[in-house]
Amino acid sequence: MTRPARAVRRVVSTLALLSCATLTACTTSPFGFPSPPPGSSTRAPSGSAPPPEAEPAPRSNASAALLEQGREARAAGRYAEATASLERALRIDPNNPLLWIELAEIKAADGDRTQAREMARKALTLAGGNPAIESRARRLL
């Protein structure tokens, strides 16, 4: 076999392998969860409520740690420290509605209702239909 023919054969083999790998990836579920059997429904049975959505997690370890520090400081009544932690977390993850609602609740607990309402509105705009965030924001509004 000539050198160009071998090269073409190698390219064709590689493309065939990639095609198979792509098709296999399309038939598996993301994140390693098992795929439902063919013909089965992934919807909840009629009459049952959909499962509640979890609050959005901070997108980075740093903002998650700052959120936790803020919660601990708030629980201890150290509102200035809690505010500082949440504001730092928001500089890292400014579009996370959980951080905005946590800060709004700290402001409300500290007596700053005006700031609390503004931050609750911001959380509500970022909530993306998350019922847990929306409920917490509406309580403050």
Does residue 136 sit in the same domain as residue 70?
yes
**According to the model, what pLDDT value does residue 51 have?**
40
Does residue 21 sit in the same domain as residue 68?
no
102 Cβ neighbours under 8 A, 6+ residues apart? 67, 70, 71, 74, 86
The SS3 assignment for 28 reads coil
Which structural domain range is residue 20 located in?
A: 3-27
Single pTM value for the model: 0.60
How much is the average pLDDT of 94-123? 95
Read off the pLDDT of residues 7-34 as tens digits, 9 standing for 90 and up: 666 755 554 554 444 444 444 444 444 5
pLDDT at 89 over 90: yes
In a domain, 37, yes or no: no
Across the chain, mean pLDDT equals: 77
Phi and psi, residue 56, nearest 5°: -65, 135
How much is the average pLDDT of 83-90? 96
